[in-house]
């Protein structure tokens, strides 16, 4: 694919032109009353919630490297075939669709295999582990013509819909600054860690080699699994990969964030194996059509903004600063216009973004009718690219300039090695 086409598609996605309206191949659409045959890859933790979200359909396959979790799930779905290796699961002939709820480093290997088979795919966030994977997955989904959805459930939250409408209608005028904050990793998982050297015995219920999958061989350690993998570069994307995909979503959507971007990340000295205990990232976007340049600030861990921003920025939320006012919103809540006294008589625009039947249900209906999804991979891919650049800038310790047309950092050569990764034999995309 030539660079001009890649750039056009990246900009279309970031502007929202394809969000919710991908064109599905007629041969991939199922009848509205026909139950889908779904396989679920990763059925513990978040996967258990995803499984519940699609349980109205035929669950014909379940896959997990934790045999205890797999067996307990099989009791609830006795008609589902059990797998420990998703590569084998994805060969099951009667599959129509798959849900992928694995650690981040498995997202692209599983998703690309499913897309190449022509399966509908729901994949948990972040869409991928690297920038290059995000581009590959977005392109494959376009070619496959199937229904896709990244697991960002709050994309469909009515509070986010109203926020996007306020921003798009110009309620606070041109937005020039956005601040976004999370308390992760904090008490949720640890970062800034040294790679363990102990080699404890692998638990009997865990298939460790399959858990590693595409990652380089290393000994099992409870510092990695379960859930703690998020803080290790080889397996997760840190706090920004976990929460910015939720919290920066309205900004990406409403402000059409895309095109060349300058990214600066600061924090403790980068550790080669693990993410930081705290980080501040500044994304600088230029003029985008009629939209003014905007800086988006990300704070994680113990990092905090200056006092005047902190007063109006809720934890796990965002603050939009425009020429005529500000909007504050907490994750899972509704937007608040500020200063309140100046917006006391403000009449919001009539809602125009359609209400969602639910994130999982929207994807299921897309599989059956050909209608689009809000967080399809052609939207989620470019969004994931931008978010993951925060980690790249942090790890090289310099401000980077990213050109999506070239899919390259143009000013710091060594940063480009962090846009992609290698895979163990048998796990390549």
Residue ranges of alpha helices (H) inside 187-247 are: 208-212, 238-239, 245-247
**The pLDDT value given to residue 5:** 41
Task: Please determine, for residue 124, whether its predicted confidence score (pLDDT) is greater than 50.
Answer: yes
DSSP track, 20-42: T-----GGG---TTSPPEEEEE-
**The pLDDT value given to residue 170:** 98
Q: Which residues of 213-227 are buried (b: 16+ CB within 10 A; e: fewer)?
A: bbbeeeebbebbbee
Each residue's pLDDT tens digit, 43-101: 999 999 999 999 999 999 999 999 999 999 999 999 999 999 999 999 999 999 999 99
* CA dist., res. 283 & res. 200, Å (int): 41
Q: How many helices and strands in the chain, by DSSP H and E?
A: 14, 15
**The pLDDT value given to residue 4:** 47
**The pLDDT value given to residue 3:** 43
Each residue's pLDDT tens digit, 239-258: 999 999 999 999 999 999 99
CATH homologous superfamily of 158-191+231-354+376-418 = Dihydrodipicolinate Reductase; domain 2 (3.30.360.10)
Residue 101, C-beta contacts closer than 8 angstroms, at least 6 positions apart: 40, 41, 42, 43, 45, 46, 47, 50, 124, 151
Q: Where does the pLDDT of residue 24 fall: very low under 50, low under 70, confident under 90, or very high at 90 and above?
A: low
Task: Please determine, for residue 424, whether its predicted confidence score (pLDDT) is greater than 60.
Answer: yes
Radius of gyration of the chain (CA): 21
Please name the CATH architecture into which domain 37-151 falls.
3-Layer(aba) Sandwich (3.40)
Q: Where are the domains of the chain?
A: 37-151, 158-191+231-354+376-418
Residue 233, C-beta contacts closer than 8 angstroms, at least 6 positions apart: 272, 273, 274, 275, 391, 395
* CA dist., res. 121 & res. 351, Å (int): 29
Whole-prediction pTM: 0.94
Each residue's pLDDT tens digit, 256-311: 999 899 999 999 999 999 999 999 999 999 999 999 999 999 999 999 999 999 99
């Amino acid at each position: 694919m030539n660079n001009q086409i890649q750039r056009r598609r990246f900009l279309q996605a970031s502007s929202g032109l394809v969000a919710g309206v991908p064109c599905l191949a007629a041969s991939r659409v199922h009848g509205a009353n026909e139950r889908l045959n779904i396989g679920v890859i990763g059925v513990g933790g978040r996967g258990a919630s995803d499984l519940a979200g699609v349980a109205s359909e035929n669950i014909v396959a379940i896959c997990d490297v934790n045999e205890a979790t797999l067996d307990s799930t099989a009791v609830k779905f006795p008609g589902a075939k059990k797998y420990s290796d998703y590569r084998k699961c994805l060969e099951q002939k009667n599959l129509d669709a798959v849900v992928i709820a694995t650690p981040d480093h498995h997202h692209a290997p599983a998703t690309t295999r499913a897309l190449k088979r022509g399966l509908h795919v729901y994949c948990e966030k972040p869409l991928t582990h690297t920038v290059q994977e995000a581009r590959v997955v977005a392109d494959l989904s376009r070619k496959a013509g199937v229904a896709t959805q990244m697991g960002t459930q709050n994309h469909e939250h009515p509070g986010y819909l109203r926020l996007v409408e306020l921003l798009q209608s110009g309620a606070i005028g041109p937005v020039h600054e956005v601040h976004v904050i999370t308390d992760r990793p904090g008490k949720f998982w640890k970062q800034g860690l040294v790679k363990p050297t102990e080699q404890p015995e692998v638990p009997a219920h865990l298939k460790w080699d399959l858990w590693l999958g595409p990652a380089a061989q290393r000994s099992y350690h409870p510092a990695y699994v379960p859930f703690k993998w998020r803080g290790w570069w080889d397996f997760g994307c840190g706090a920004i990969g976990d929460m910015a995909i939720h919290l920066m979503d309205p900004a990406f959507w409403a402000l059409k964030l895309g095109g060349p971007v300058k990214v600066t990340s600061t924090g403790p000295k980068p550790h080669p194996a693990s993410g930081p205990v705290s980080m501040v990232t500044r994304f600088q976007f230029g003029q985008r059509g009629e939209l003014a340049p905007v800086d988006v600030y990300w704070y994680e861990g113990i990092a905090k903004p200056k006092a005047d921003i902190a007063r109006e920025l809720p934890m796990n939320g965002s603050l939009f600063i425009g020429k005529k006012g500000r909007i504050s919103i907490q994750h899972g809540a509704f937007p608040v216009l500020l200063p309140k006294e100046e917006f006391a008589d403000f009449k919001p625009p009539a809602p125009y973004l359609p209400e969602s039947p639910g994130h999982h249900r929207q994807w299921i209906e897309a599989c059956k009718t050909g209608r689009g999804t809000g967080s399809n991979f052609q939207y989620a891919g470019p969004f994931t690219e931008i978010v993951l650049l925060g980690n790249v800038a942090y790890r090289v310790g310099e401000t980077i300039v990213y050109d999506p047309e070239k899919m390259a950092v143009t000013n710091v050569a060594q940063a480009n090695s962090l846009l992609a990764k290698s895979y163990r034999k048998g796990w390549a995309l």
